[in-house]
A and B are shown apart, each in its own frame.
Chain A
Amino acid sequence: MIIKKAMHEALNMALREEMIRDPRVVLLGEEIGPYNGVHYVTRGLFAEFGKDRVIDTPISEESFVGVGVGMAMMGQRPVVELMRMDFCLRAMDQIYNHMAKIRYMSGGRLSVPMVLRGPEGPGPNPGLTAQHGQQLTVLFAHCPGLRVVSPANQHDAKGMLKAAIRCDDPVVFLEPGPLNNKQGDVDDGDYLVPLDQAEIKHDGSDVTLIGYGASVSLCLQAARELERGGVSAEVVDMRSLRPLDMAPALASVAKTNRAVVVDYAWQSYGPAAEIVSRLMSDAFWDLESPVLRVAGKESPLPYAANLEELSKPNVEEVVAAAKQTLRN
């Protein structure tokens, strides 16, 4: 049955269903227990599953991510929450040097079936400022050995988190902060959404808008706006940043011959840069116009309301970029 749920509720359903299905699934993180999670994702799970399966951690990110790695090597299925993805920076050694590499360094004899999840980017609420609202996607996406995914709607959030928990590789599950409290359709049954498949979220024929996570919403809003002006935009949701599934975007560009990549991350060296590069090598002869990017401005996230708005990519910029590709 299809029901309306906020993204955090969809994620909560995924955790709960997987915890019921598999007793090896254990949650770790700050304030995820009786406090019910700062972004509500673990709401009710401590009451239902108790303190051995929903483990509140002190502010010890490097170590509790490492604890997750150790548990995973022993066959548990830890799902480790970072209160905000920004705090991954404390745990980066465990993520890069251990979580990502143990399969390879052991010649494939060990695996780390864990999920590292949490909200990234400037949301749900404004005013998160420089150290709490960053979009650090590319740090993970850069690193072989990790799978890196980010859902763009409630349905995918649930299905992808369930798939991530069942995956035998370490999965970094990036929850789009701006969408955390947004409502949408979710299936209340047991279903999985593949971790390595991009998807067309809106059909169109004139220009291809490419995003992942929260930037897909900008693409969809821009597509509606463009349609009012007679321009038909196709929206591709990458869903996975590592591996990148370029097939839907390439097929779309073969049709539209134009593309704009939209990203909350800083533009330079960001995920959008990699997607543009793939389009250059694999869709060059289909393109009739340079591929453009709309991304976060190259500053730390400022506090003042006017500066914060300026710093984020917005629908008007996406519409303008799409129109610019159509000038050629």
Chain B
Amino acid sequence: MSVVARKPGPPESAAGNAPHATATAARNFPLDTATLKHYLRQMVTLREFEHLGEREFKNGLIRGYYHSYAGQEAVGVGLVNALDLHRDYIVDHYRDHGHVLLSGVEPKLVYAELFGRRTGVSKGKGGSMHMYSPEHHFLGGDGIVGGGISIATGVGLALKQQKQDGICVCFFGDGALDTGTFHESMNLASLWQIPVVFICVNNMYSMGTSLERHSSLPRLVDRAQGYGVPTEQIDGQDVWATTAAAERIFRQVREQQRPYFIEALTYRYQGHGIHDKPLNYRSLEEETAWHARDPLKLLTDYLVQEKVLSHKQIEQLRTEVVASLEADVAEAKQAPEPDPEELLQDVTL
């Protein structure tokens, strides 16, 4: 059953005529080859992390929810790398594997959480949606749509009161624009001049509902108007575009101590969760069009074209990454489950 008849792919999609326009211009942003190679490794890690994770879900090691980050890598890589996580903070929603890894948490600790092990980032108590790592300034992992937006605003207010020069960024989906708390938080952040960046990762779907079926306006930046918060739509497929926007915007938020709203246009490749079958509500044509601008492909094409890396070297990098992740999976599998006494610990002090 095809639910929506809509034109496939990024260029003509309801929300996005921006992507192509910005893509070439963004190449001018100076990212040196060492950085680009590092970003490639990160993007490959995020992508392969999910492949192995989904495999282990099917093997029965992971239960309940699993929201894959595959397809959205350039958003996280551009935005999280532009933060200084010694002073900045991240508040995330439940599609959090990519962001927690980019914050610097070791993959084996994220796998251990997914397997419900004592060594997991949340001691096996949180699961896929609830990754927390305060030492990496990663404050979750919230399962309620929009639940983190006011929390991020509070983190920003605390940073300001404590006279720290950090900022807080909050990741959420296009669906979160439909919650009241998003609009309330935008008003508060603007009214109180809070250094928080609201990052809407618009992957075109809220579960099985396409943007035009859940949003009164096709451009989410338009729905974020009216609060005196500057807004910007960016190409979330292109790591140059996300990096350029992030460095400029974060600098401005830090200097001016005022909020900002970013809409990053991207696409999730898998279903909403593991059991969701996206072809029930979107077309293969649309998926193919987005895959043509796959964030990893854009980066590898450039690196090959510029003779920074050969296809063979990129394949080798992927093999290395997979081998390392397989070792992480194996180690996480060996980790013990939590002690029974843990059930009633951490509830209150």
Name A residues whose Cβ lies closer than 8 Å to a Cβ of B: 30-31, 34-35, 56, 58-60, 62-63, 86-87, 89-90, 125-132, 297-300, 302-307, 310-311
B63 touches A126 (CB 8 A): yes
In the bound complex, what is the Cα–Cα distance between A297 and B344 (angstroms)? 8
CB of B345 to closest CB in A, whole Å: 9
| B1-20 vs A, Cβ < 8 Å mask (1 yes, 0 no) | 10100000000000000000
Partner of B343 from A87, A130, A305, A311 at Cβ < 8 Å: A311
Q: Residue of B at shortest CB range from A297?
A: B343
B176 at the interface (CB under 8 A from A): yes
What are the residues of chain B within 8 A of A305 when measuring CB–CB? 63, 116, 337
Considering only residues 302-349 of chain B, those with a C-beta below 8 Å from chain A are 337-338, 340, 342-344, 347
What are the residues of chain B within 8 A of A31 when measuring CB–CB? 207-209
What are the residues of chain B within 8 A of A34 when measuring CB–CB? 1, 3, 208, 281
A59 touches B127 (CB 8 A): no
The 7 closest A-B pairs by CB, nearest first: A127-B64, A127-B63, A303-B127, A304-B116, A58-B178, A304-B124, A35-B208
Subset of 7 A-B contacts with CB under 8 Å: A34-B281, A58-B206, A62-B180, A131-B144, A132-B65, A303-B126, A306-B116
Name B residues whose Cβ lies closer than 8 Å to a Cβ of A: 1, 3, 62-65, 113, 116-118, 122, 124-127, 129-130, 142-147, 175-176, 178-180, 206-209, 213-215, 280-281, 337-338, 340, 342-344, 347
A131 touches B129 (CB 8 A): yes
Contact A302:B178 (CB < 8 A) given known A35-B280, A127-B63, A132-B143: no
Q: Residue of A at shortest CB range from B147?
A: A131
CB of A118 to closest CB in B, whole Å: 15
Contact A56:B213 (CB < 8 A) given known A132-B65, A306-B338, A310-B340: yes
Contact A125:B178 (CB < 8 A) given known A303-B125, A304-B124: no
What are the residues of chain A within 8 A of B209 when measuring CB–CB? 30-31, 35, 56, 58
In the bound complex, what is the Cα–Cα distance between A147 and B272 (angstroms)? 34
What are the residues of chain A within 8 A of B178 when measuring CB–CB? 58-60
Q: Residue of A at shortest CB range from B1?
A: A34
In the bound complex, what is the Cα–Cα distance between A58 and B32 (angstroms)? 42
Q: Residue of A at shortest CB range from B122?
A: A303
Q: Residue of A at shortest CB range from B337?
A: A306
What are the residues of chain A within 8 A of B213 when measuring CB–CB? 56
In the bound complex, what is the Cα–Cα distance between A30 and B178 (angstroms)? 12
What are the residues of chain B within 8 A of A90 when measuring CB–CB? 144, 179
What are the residues of chain B within 8 A of A59 when measuring CB–CB? 145-146, 175-176, 178-179, 206, 214
Partner of B65 from A63, A86, A129 at Cβ < 8 Å: A129
What are the residues of chain A within 8 A of B125 when measuring CB–CB? 130, 300, 302-304, 307
In the bound complex, what is the Cα–Cα distance between A293 and B17 (angstroms)? 61
Q: Residue of A at shortest CB range from B63?
A: A127
What are the residues of chain A within 8 A of B337 when measuring CB–CB? 304-307
Partner of A35 from B62, B116, B179, B207 at Cβ < 8 Å: B207
What are the residues of chain B within 8 A of A306 when measuring CB–CB? 116, 337-338, 340
Q: Which of B3, B207, B208, B343 has the most CB of A within 10 A?
A: B343
What are the residues of chain B within 8 A of A129 when measuring CB–CB? 64-65, 126-127, 129-130, 143
What are the residues of chain B within 8 A of A127 when measuring CB–CB? 62-65, 127
What are the residues of chain B within 8 A of A63 when measuring CB–CB? 180
CB of B68 to closest CB in A, whole Å: 16
In the bound complex, what is the Cα–Cα distance between A291 and B227 (angstroms)? 57
What are the residues of chain B within 8 A of A132 when measuring CB–CB? 64-65, 143
Q: Residue of A at shortest CB range from B142?
A: A131
What are the residues of chain A within 8 A of B343 when measuring CB–CB? 297, 299, 302, 307, 310-311
B208 touches A303 (CB 8 A): no
CB of A296 to closest CB in B, whole Å: 11
Q: Which of B116, B215, B340 has the most CB of A within 10 A?
A: B116
In the bound complex, what is the Cα–Cα distance between A94 and B332 (angstroms)? 45
Q: Residue of A at shortest CB range from B344?
A: A299
A130 touches B64 (CB 8 A): no
What are the residues of chain A within 8 A of B179 when measuring CB–CB? 59-60, 90
What are the residues of chain A within 8 A of B3 when measuring CB–CB? 34-35
Q: Residue of B at shortest CB range from A131?
A: B143
Q: Residue of B at shortest CB range from A133?
A: B64
What are the residues of chain A within 8 A of B143 when measuring CB–CB? 129-132
In the bound complex, what is the Cα–Cα distance between A304 and B341 (angstroms)? 13
A303 touches B207 (CB 8 A): no
What are the residues of chain B within 8 A of A307 when measuring CB–CB? 116, 124-125, 337-338, 340, 342-343
- Apart from A31-B209, A58-B214, A131-B129, 17 more pairs, CB < 8 Å: A35-B209, A59-B175, A59-B214, A90-B179, A125-B63, A127-B127, A129-B65, A130-B143, A131-B142, A131-B144, A297-B343, A299-B343, A300-B125, A303-B125, A304-B116, A304-B117, A304-B118
